[in-house]
Amino acid sequence: MPPVVYNEKCSGCGKCEEICPGDLMEVNPATQKAFCRSARDCWDCMACVKECPKGALETRIPYQLGYYPARLIPKKKDKMIEWTCIDINGKIEKFNVRTHNK
């Protein structure tokens, strides 16, 4: 599943385009908004979601794993990623995972 782009939050900075290992994210020159140019090729690595400074991207958990409207939202922090998990009943849990980011 490709990331969902919230156009009202997207500033067109291109960080998602730079970080995407599959070279799938792109900023539309006409709208200055990000989009995934090949949804079927996206492997849900979430690199773009973690890199977006505006929180304009979100990966939806596949229905087979979490059921709609379950969500998994990463937030990049200094030397860690905070993961917010929202289950189908709206229960929220947060986890912090250390990274080796500079």
For residue 64, pLDDT over 60 is answered with no
Does the pTM surpass 0.85? The reply is no
Q: What is the mean pLDDT of the chain?
A: 88
pLDDT digits (tens, 9 = 90+) for 5-46: 999 999 999 999 999 999 999 999 999 999 999 988 998 889
DSSP 9: T
Topology, domain 1-59: Alpha-Beta Plaits (3.30.70)
Cβ neighbours around 96 below 10 Å, total:
12
Centroid of chain to Cα 39: 14
pLDDT of residue 73: 85
Domain boundaries, the chain: 1-59, 60-102
74 — pLDDT class (breaks 50, 70, 90): confident
